[in-house]
Structure 1
Amino acid sequence: MAKTFEVKICGIKTQEEVTLVNKYPVNYVGLIFAPSKRQITLEKGKELRPLIRKDIKVVGVFVDATYEEIHKVIMECDLDVVQLHGKETNDEILKMPIEVWKSIPIENKNSLLQIKAYPDCDGVLLDTYYKGATGGTGKSFNHQWVKEYGAISQKLILAGGLSPNNVLSVLDNIIPDVLDFNSGLETNLMKDPLKVEKLFVKLVKVSKLYS
């Protein structure tokens, strides 16, 4: 696993939130095109895309969308990565023209065995299993299970309840390739400038340990 990490902020919905994340060393932003409290339309995605800082990669989040639906968003919103939370097969992943992250819902340590079903995805996103939800719940899982599982050949994206308050303890236990933040940076479903600032103050301290 990498000794350095990148940062993704998911669930961006407004121009104000884009302006906020543009101020910080964010590597990825997530636009959610699936049913969710943070869902945006294709038109909103097209509006936000050119406002995002050029060096930030844009991730489109989908749940059981058709290939045609996903491809349309890829092309019209100039996505860099597709993040899939549904029942997609490895063969379907192979069809995608850009980088693919497959979400694996973690309920217990055996949930990690699902990774083997997706050898051709570029990244695996580990998120907490929560009945009736596909992410953004603010719930975390036992990261010790990931350490016990061993090496993961794909890029490892860690999600599930990450916040400025717990990120240091998480990094004491596991250092993924990408830390994925969503609800832990929000107040009333909007990205909170104070929470985002607090996060990066802490991450600057951590990065010095690994530089």
Structure 2
Amino acid sequence: MSVLKNTRLELKVCGMRDETNLQELISLSPDFIGMIFYSKSARFFNSEPIPLPKEIQKVGVFVDETFSEIIQAVMKHNLNVVQIHGNESDVYCSELKDFFPELKIWKVFSVGEDFDMGELLNYHCVDAIVFDTKGKNYGGNGTKFNWEILQDYPLQKDIVLSGGISIDDLPKIIEMKQRVPQIRIIDINSRFEIEPGIKNIKLVKEFSQKLKELQ
């Protein structure tokens, strides 16, 4: 996936699980909508497939899921992107890519104090790297990691920036993108919720509008 300095930042809203809330979100036309297919998550999506407009890409989030379960979910829910959040290997990602050549694969790396950027070099076939904050849960912890480490990012693959992002962080993200042009997608979740899986649509709209104004 090529990276251009003048590419606009795109918006992903993750952790949707309520159909009414999801329909409200669709009206804002984010670039990506994420649904978590991990049963231990408070934002577990366990509903029938919900069609999205073609301009909105549907992201399925999985944690150490079996290959067959991901295949079934991709086909059932017509996923555009699979975001893998566990200990899946590059071989696993490659096999998934071979099965669905058009499918985008994002690999999540949880950043703690001892994070090693060298881990990324083991993943060759993924389309983007998701940086999230290491915490007790697989995402949705509501905390940020030290974004300055992204200056040592060794790849040209797109970056999906996640982890406790709020509307107040937008100026800093815009500034970071000037130094790290691989930052391509902002992933928002817990800081925009009324409760786990239910988004404050007014706040998401404010964030989306401010993002467009700053670019």
When normalised by structure 1's length, the TM-score is 0.89
Matched, 1:192 2:200: yes
Alpha-carbon distance in 1 for matches of 2:168, 2:21: 20
Alpha-carbon distance in 2 for matches of 1:26, 1:146: 24
Matched, 1:143 2:150: no
Cα root mean square deviation, aligned: 1.6
Post-superposition shift, 1:194? Answer: 2.0
Q: Name 1:119's counterpart in structure 2.
A: 124
Indicate which of 201, 207, 212 corresponds to 1:204: 212
Counting only pairs closer than 5 Å after superposition, residues 1-211 of structure 1 correspond to structure 2 as 2-3=5-6, 4-34=8-38, 35-41=40-46, 44-46=47-49, 48=50, 50=51, 52-96=52-96, 97=100, 98-108=103-113, 110-130=115-135, 132-147=136-151, 149-174=152-177, 176-189=183-196, 190-207=198-215
Tell me the number of residue pairs that the alignment of Structure 1 and Structure 2 aligns.
200
SS at match of 1:140: coil
Q: Is the 8 A contact 1:161 1:184 kept in 2?
A: yes
Alpha-carbon distance in 2 for matches of 1:111, 1:133: 20
Q: Is the 8 A contact 2:63 2:84 kept in 1?
A: yes
Q: Is the 8 A contact 1:109 1:145 kept in 2?
A: no
Question: Quick one: structure 1 residues 45 and 138, their matched pair in 2 at CA, closer, same or farther if it must change by over 3 Å?
Answer: farther
Alpha-carbon distance in 1 for matches of 2:207, 2:30: 11
Q: Is the 8 A contact 1:105 1:127 kept in 2?
A: yes
AA aligned to 1:103 is V
Query: Which deviates more, 78-87 or 2-11?
Result: 2-11
Post-superposition shift, 1:112? Answer: 2.4
Q: Per-residue displacement from partner, 1:148-177 (whole Å, max 9, x unpaired)?
A: x14522121110011112222222223511
Where in structure 2 are there 5+ consecutive unaligned residues? none
Query: Which deviates more, 167-176 or 120-129?
Result: 167-176
Question: Quick one: structure 1 residues 170 and 142, their matched pair in 2 at CA, closer, same or farther if it must change by over 3 Å?
Answer: same
Q: Per-residue displacement from partner, 1:44-63 (whole Å, max 9, x unpaired)?
A: 142x2x1x222101010000
Alpha-carbon distance in 2 for matches of 1:21, 1:152: 32
AA aligned to 1:199 is F
Aligned-residue sequence identity (percent) comes to: 26
Alpha-carbon distance in 2 for matches of 1:85, 1:28: 17
Post-superposition shift, 1:142? Answer: 0.8
Where in structure 1 are there 5+ consecutive unaligned residues? none
Question: Quick one: structure 1 residues 91 and 37, their matched pair in 2 at CA, closer, same or farther if it must change by over 3 Å?
Answer: same
